[in-house]
Amino acid sequence: MENKYRIWITNYITANNGIVYGRCVDASKKMVADFPELKVVPGFIETSYTTDEHCWCVTSDGEIIDPTRAQYQGQLILEYRAFKPGDRVRVGKCMECGEIITMAVQSLEVPTLAPHHPFCSIDCNDSFIADQIRTFS
């Protein structure tokens, strides 16, 4: 990795008090704004502990520059895989049970993403409505 990218990442981490968890989109977009030769890549990261949705940068020759790699400290990175049409991605969190809701999407562009889904199932939808009826009856 080029030193200018290392310096930028160090400064980003310092500016955020060492907290980079959940900031991959922000960090990647800011890094590309400062280094237009990079490209933001949304996808999945597989580590020795987990597989997460993640965002990173890539150079024109395919080198991965991950500005929030520090959030996976102590974990072996097994794979970075860019999203492809049909992948299941998070589209919401159930208002009743709190489960993450995923859906297969064809594009990650905001206007074409499926609308937010407030419930993970018909059962949660019905339970939520029943609770509301009891509350306001």
pLDDT of 38-51, one tens digit each? 999 989 999 999 88
pLDDT of 1 above 90: no
Question: Which spans in the chain are helix H?
Answer: 3-15, 24-34, 122-136
pLDDT digits (tens, 9 = 90+) for 8-43: 999 999 999 999 998 998 999 999 999 999 999 989
Q: Are residues 97 and 35 in the same domain?
A: no
Q: Are residues 11 and 70 in the same domain?
A: yes
**What's the maximum distance between 2 C-alpha atoms anywhere in the chain?**
64
Residue among 83, 75, 84, 90 nearest 120 (CA): 90
Tell me the C-alpha distance between 83 and 2, whole Å. 26
Give me the pLDDT at residue 64, please: 97
For residue 109, name the pLDDT band (cuts at 50, 70, 90).
Answer: low
Q: Are residues 98 and 78 in the same domain?
A: no
Tokens of 72: 């996976």
For residue 30, the enclosing domain spans 3-82
